[in-house]
Amino acid sequence: MTTPPTVDDLAATLDALRARVPLVQSLTNIVSANFLTNVLLAAGASNAHIDNAHEAGDFARIAGGVLVNLGTPDDGTAAAFTRAAEAAHEAGTPWVLDPVGVGGLAWRTSLAADLLHHRPTAIRGNASEIIALAGLGGDTRGVDSADEAAAAVPAALALLDRAQAVSASGPVDHLVGRDRDGAIVGLRIAGGSAMLPRVTSTGCSLGGLVAAYLAVAATPLIGVATAHAHVAVAAEIAEENSSGPGSFAVAYLDALYAVDADTLRARARLEPLDLPTEDTK
């Protein structure tokens, strides 16, 4: 008998975020840096963007959580990624790998492979990135978009050798990790909005929010699930209050700020995810 995260687990974790205001260290791309920070501030965390190799390692030892996002790496930030990941792993700071573009681009795919050695606490990506990162076949063309997150579940399970929780974003997000007894469990989180892919950095900023929730959650999977649910509920609310991608982005930040534990209890849409038996033994 396994025990996937419940909506009460998530509500308690959101309350913990608001009470403790964890400090995230983000190493993210130049497209998302501003929006990601605003997402963290709106949700109830704080953020410092320390992405130079001189300082990234030291800061990762004192941060509440660290995000390493491969969106726009250069030689300088790539060195900082390694320092931050290494220091986070050594110091026990939870850290998140967001493997943007892995699979399609050779250099960053090699960076991601190196970073896996420092054992990210969580990995968040879209389906093709999760599949590529797991090395289960790089050609994800032809994956139907409605099914894509589901298609990444075997890859996500394979990555549990390296990380404690893995999520694949899509119209319905798919998450895998371990329950409090160490058993592998899965979770689907529905909701969100068709407007999310029309606003850049909604995915990258979810990665930052995962890092924030890892700092306060009882288990990595609960942390990842709370971030996904917070975002999905906020996006639903934002869609009701907007008339296009510009006003959606504004309403989304307002909604991330407004969503509280009661909102999450009322609106979060969690479903258990049946896992292939051979993977859950």
List contacts with its own copies (CB under 8 A): 29-35, 37-38, 41-42, 47-52, 54-55, 58-59, 71-77, 101, 105-108, 197-201, 243-247, 249-255, 257-258
Q: How far apart are CA 26 and CA 36, in angstroms?
A: 9
Which residue, 78 or 187, has its beta carbon nearer to its own copies? 78
Residue closer to its own copies by CB (options 113, 258) is: 258
Nearer to its own copies, 56 or 153 (CB): 56
Give the nearer residue to its own copies in terms of CB position, either 235 or 275: 235
Least distance (Å) from its own copies to the CB of residue 242? 8
Rounded to the nearest whole angstrom, what is the least distance from the CB of residue 126 to its own copies in the complex? 13
Q: How far is the CB of 70 from its own copies (least distance, A)?
A: 11
For its own copies, the closer of residues 42 and 187 by Cβ is: 42
The CB-of-236 to its own copies minimum distance in angstroms stands at 15
In the complex with its own copies, which residue's Cβ is closer, 3 or 34?
A: 34
Question: What is the spatial distance between Cα 28 and Cα 190, in angstroms, rounded to a whole number?
Answer: 26
DSSP the chain: ------HHHHHHHHHHHHHH--EEEEE--TTTHHHHHHHHHHHT-EEE---STTTHHHHHHHSSEEEEE-SS--HHHHHHHHHHHHHHHHHT--EEEE-TTBTTBHHHHHHHHHHHTT--SEEEEEHHHHHHHTTS-S--TT--GGGHHHHTHHHHHHHTTT-SEEEEESSSEEEEEE-TTS-EEEEEEE---TTGGGSTTHHHHHHHHHHHHHTT-SSHHHHHHHHHHHHHHHHHHHHHT-SSHHHHHHHHHHHHHH--HHHHHHH-EEEE-PPPHHHH-
**What's the closest the beta carbon of residue 72 comes to its own copies, in angstroms?**
5
Nearest approach in angstroms of CB 157 to its own copies is: 28
